[in-house]
Amino acid sequence: MKKLLFMLLLLPLTACGQTDTPPDVVLQAFKKSYPAAQAVDWDKEAEGWEASFRDNGRKVSATFDALGQLIQEERDLLRDELPEPIRHALSLSYPGWSFKEAERITTGKVRTYEVEIRLGGDDVELLFDESGTRLR
């Protein structure tokens, strides 16, 4: 009985001791894709391994599967880096808006843009495709 109790007490400690270090194949793929990456932090996600880091001064997160294939990248953008159709759509649909932040989300060959704006004191998060069509 004492052994069982002792093992049950140790169980949470062993679960907490799991590492957030991806397999070598993922690390190699990451280094090849992002040779200038700095301040890399890894997390194990349901989809695979997510690296959060800075690349040329920008915040980026990249998710790789267990085989080292890039699944998704999210990269911070400046206002002027948003595609013109998105800036135009914002001007038409949200007069008086001000820019807070934006990310380009690349999944495979599909790019979407998440834009957070301030409108009349409220923060609004919007999702666009490259043509400026609002998706959410």
More confident residue, 28 or 17: 28
Domain residues of the chain, as ranges?
Answer: 21-129
Condensed to tens digits (0 to 9), the pLDDT of residues 85-99 reads 999 999 999 988 899
Query: If pLDDT is split at 50, 70 and 90, which confidence band does 19 have?
Result: low
SS3 45: coil
Query: If pLDDT is split at 50, 70 and 90, which confidence band does 121 have?
Result: confident
Condensed to tens digits (0 to 9), the pLDDT of residues 98-120 reads 999 999 999 999 999 999 999 88
More confident residue, 54 or 10: 54
Condensed to tens digits (0 to 9), the pLDDT of residues 20-55 reads 789 999 999 999 999 999 999 999 999 899 999 999
Q: Is the dihedral of CA 89, 80, 100, 129 positive or negative?
A: positive
What mean pLDDT value characterizes the chain?
A: 87
Alpha-carbon distance of 5 to 77, in angstroms, equals 53
21-129: CATH architecture: Roll (3.10)
**pTM for this structure?**
0.79
Alpha-carbon distance of 133 to 51, in angstroms, equals 29
Alpha-carbon distance of 58 to 39, in angstroms, equals 11
